[in-house]
């Protein structure tokens, strides 16, 4: 029964609302309220408080949330062991670009083979994803970075991906076969958020060349970045796999960076070395390595 209460608590914390949590879980709102009250009685602490228009965990609630996610993950792991991995849940932490452009086709193929496994994709920064895999709130993580290494985590390099300078077809750089990063000195940049690995790679390289980057716009999603470049508000720096459709339609141009300035990044799958791998999880790894 306590696991049910903890699952409800996690859902309220994630959705910020008793009402939305009830809808997501298929409960009556009164049942959600009663379960949270029972949980607060069990732990002797206020776990949720009103914040703005929603509900947010208190200090005690945030502490419990970490343990609750681990307990639920262990419970799911036990179910998978018993059911030999044919049912249960697969939680994947992923940066936005991979969640949007790398995972969908692969998950489509995976679901054909394991239709009874519930899949959750948890978007976040690389730091968040690594932490989620370590604390077992995510089974796997997908990151895009230089080769990552960890004593605690298994890291599989799935495939290399090149980074490009992305410009409007009418931009002066559009006709270049390649470009040096020094050519971006006076260019307005349209970049991802400051937790992004390839954004930080670009800025570090530019500063190393004695340049002061002109970051004009920042977006938390790729569509905003691409629209900004289409409107000629600046140039972007993105993995090639994120702009394939726009390149095909002639809406954008992707300029390779000279002297390998856009190479060295890999799509990487991470998971705990001590993670028990069911047959379905092993198949997931195989499908990621095989490209879907």
Domain locations in the chain as residue ranges? 1-83, 84-161+264-291, 163-262
CA distances from 114 to 82, 108, 146 (A): 16, 10, 32
The answer, yes or no, to whether residue 211 has pLDDT greater than 80, is yes
Q: Which residues make beta-bridge pairs with 159? A: 267
φ, ψ of residue 237 to 5 degrees: the values are -135, 105
The answer, yes or no, to whether residue 248 has pLDDT greater than 70, is yes
Which pLDDT score, from 0 to 100, does residue 82 have?
64
CA dihedral (73, 79, 80, 83) in degrees, to 10, reads: -170
- What is the arithmetic mean of pLDDT over 54-69? 93
Q: What is the rounded CA–CA span in Å between residue 66 and residue 80?
A: 21
The answer, yes or no, to whether residue 292 has pLDDT greater than 60, is no
CATH of 84-161+264-291, picked from 1.20.140.10, 3.40.50.150, 3.40.190.10, 3.40.50.300, is 3.40.190.10
Whether 1-83 and 84-161+264-291 share one fold: the answer is no
- What is the arithmetic mean of pLDDT over 29-36? 92
The answer, yes or no, to whether residue 260 has pLDDT greater than 80, is no
Which pLDDT score, from 0 to 100, does residue 187 have?
95
- What is the arithmetic mean of pLDDT over 122-132? 92
53 or 225, which is more confident: 225
The answer, yes or no, to whether residue 89 has pLDDT greater than 90, is no
- What is the arithmetic mean of pLDDT over 18-23? 92
The CATH classification number of 1-83 equals: 1.10.10.10
- What is the arithmetic mean of pLDDT over 191-201? 91
Q: Are 257 and 180 in contact (CB under 8 A)?
A: yes
Q: For residue 290, name the pLDDT band (cuts at 50, 70, 90).
A: confident
Q: What is the rounded CA–CA span in Å between residue 155 and residue 276?
A: 15
pTM of the model: 0.69
Task: Identify the helix (H) or strand (E) that includes residue 197.
Answer: helix 197-208
CATH of 163-262, picked from 3.40.190.10, 3.10.450.50, 3.40.718.10, 3.40.50.360, is 3.40.190.10
pLDDT above 90: percentage of residues in the chain: 75
Which pLDDT score, from 0 to 100, does residue 74 have?
86
- What is the arithmetic mean of pLDDT over 271-285? 89
- What is the arithmetic mean of pLDDT over 158-184? 93
The answer, yes or no, to whether residue 49 has pLDDT greater than 90, is yes
Which pLDDT score, from 0 to 100, does residue 85 have?
55
> Among residues 291, 273, 286, 292, which one has the least CA distance to residue 85?
286
């Amino acid at each position: 029964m306590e696991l049910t209460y903890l699952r409800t608590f996690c859902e309220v914390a994630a959705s910020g609302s008793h009402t939305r949590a009830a809808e997501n879980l298929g409960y009556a709102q009164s049942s959600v309220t009663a379960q949270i009250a029972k949980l607060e009685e069990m732990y002797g602490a206020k776990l949720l408080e009103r914040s703005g228009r929603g509900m947010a965990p208190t200090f005690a609630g945030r502490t419990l949330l970490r343990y609750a996610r681990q307990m639920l993950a262990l419970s799911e792991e036990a179910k998978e062991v018993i059911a030999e991995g044919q049912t249960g849940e697969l939680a994947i932490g992923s940066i936005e670009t991979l969640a949007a452009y790398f995972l969908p086709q692969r998950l489509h193929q995976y679901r054909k083979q394991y239709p009874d496994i519930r899949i959750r994709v948890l978007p976040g920064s690389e730091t968040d994803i690594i932490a989620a895999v370590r604390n077992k709130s995510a089974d796997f993580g997908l990151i895009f970075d230089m080769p990552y290494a960890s004593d605690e985590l298994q890291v599989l390099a799935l495939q290399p991906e090149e980074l490009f300078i992305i410009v409007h077809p009418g931009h002066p750089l559009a006709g270049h076969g390649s470009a040096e990063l020094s050519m971006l000195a006076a260019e307005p940049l349209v970049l991802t958020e400051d937790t992004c690995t390839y954004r930080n790679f670009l800025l570090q390289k530019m500063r190393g060349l004695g340049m002061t980057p002109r970051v004009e716009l920042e977006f938390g999603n790729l569509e905003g970045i691409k629209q900004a470049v289409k409107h000629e508000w600046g140039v972007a720096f993105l993995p090639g796999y994120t702009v394939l459709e726009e390149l095909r339609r002639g809406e954008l141009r992707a300029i390779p960076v000279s002297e390998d300035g856009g190479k060295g990044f890999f799509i990487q799958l991470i998971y705990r070395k001590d993670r028990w791998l069911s047959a379905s999880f092993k198949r997931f790894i195989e499908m990621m390595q095989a490209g879907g």
